Amino acid sequence: MQEKALYPGSFDPITFGHIDIIERLSRLFPEIVVLIANAPHKNYLFSAKERAQLVRDCLKKINNVKVEIHDGLTVDYAKKHKSSVIIRGLRAVSDFEYEMAMANSNRHLNEDVETMIVFARPELSYISSRMVKEVAMFGGNIKELVPQPVVKAMQLKIKGKK
């Protein structure tokens, strides 16, 4: 495909599940833009800048990936930067309703932007940022869920909170 693809999300923090999706997409599209959401109503553990830096640190080996912080609608970013593809991951049926509603509202906002759903790799489909945070808060091992830079950042963040 000739287009750059947008991969929007919270990435609070980035996990091996996100990275797998990005690696797979980076072979299909000339450029992937990881769009870090910064919604005022959401309570993030990491700031948008910290989340963006962690994504950059974890994706050094993939050279057609760009990381941007965006605090508006994804379709507006798509229009401004001439992209018409939004990628979202699907882990389980529980993700389905939310992703379908999101895809339909984005289509309602802009008919020219298409949402494409990529299925999570089964062995990574249980991983979520929320689960990473919960396990880390209680001192559990997150090394199989997130790359080393995130393990380190989580440890520092938790220390700072105690």
Residues within the interface to ligand ADP (CB under 6 A): 9-11, 15, 17-18, 21, 37, 88-89, 91, 95, 120, 124-125, 127-129
Catalytic status, residue 47: no
Q: Which of 4, 70, 91, 133 is catalytic?
A: 91
Do the Cβ atoms of 22 and 4 come closer than 8 Å? Answer: no
Indicate the residue among 119 and 162 with the shorter CB distance to ligand ADP: 119
Indicate the residue among 4 and 21 with the shorter CB distance to ligand ADP: 21
Catalytic status, residue 4: no
The angle, 0 to 180 degrees and rounded to 10, between the axes of the packed helices 48-58 and 148-161 is: 150
Q: Which residues contact 114 (CB under 8 A, 6 or more apart)?
A: 84, 85, 86, 107
Do the Cβ atoms of 32 and 66 come closer than 8 Å? Answer: yes
- Chain residue at closest Cβ approach to ligand ADP: 17
Q: Which of 18, 51, 88, 133 is catalytic?
A: 18
Indicate the residue among 5 and 124 with the shorter CB distance to ligand ADP: 124
**Residue 40, class by beta-carbon neighbours within 10 Å (0-12 exposed, 13-18 middle, 19+ buried)?**
exposed
Question: Catalytic site residues?
Answer: 18, 42, 91, 129
